[in-house]
Amino acid sequence: MDRVALRGLRARGHHGVFQKEREEGQTFVVDLTLGLDTRPAAADDDLAKTVHYGIVAEEVVAVVEGEPVDLIETLAERIAQVCLKHEGVQEVEVCVHKPQAPITVPFDDVTVTITRSRV
């Protein structure tokens, strides 16, 4: 399976279990790896035979900016389902970063990574 990756998609969301997170929001960062067969697109040099990563990026940002959820696990799942709606995408790995998570000790990042497939 071939891979198309998008790294560092940024969007402001209002996800989290604390009221302050819901009210103020924060920046979330999403990394995606889409698994698909790119041979048909490459053979014909045809965008219609692969995944349009620009559209996927817009859809992912819309999920992050959309309806708030408590957990980034839930957010990752919603993102995965949006990606799998694209016909050629057979598998997706989603990593959601929450670099401004409300943690009381110094840290660089909090991430949740999931892999989902059509199978």
Q: Which residues does the annotation mark as catalytic?
A: 98
First to last CA, the chain: 14
**Rounded to whole angstroms, how far apart are CA atoms 43 and 24?**
48
Contact indicator for 18, 102 with CB cutoff of 8 Å: yes
How many other CB atoms are there within 10 angstroms of residue 21's CB atom? 19
Closest CA relative to residue 86, chosen from 53, 119, 44, 62? 53
Contact indicator for 116, 92 with CB cutoff of 8 Å: yes
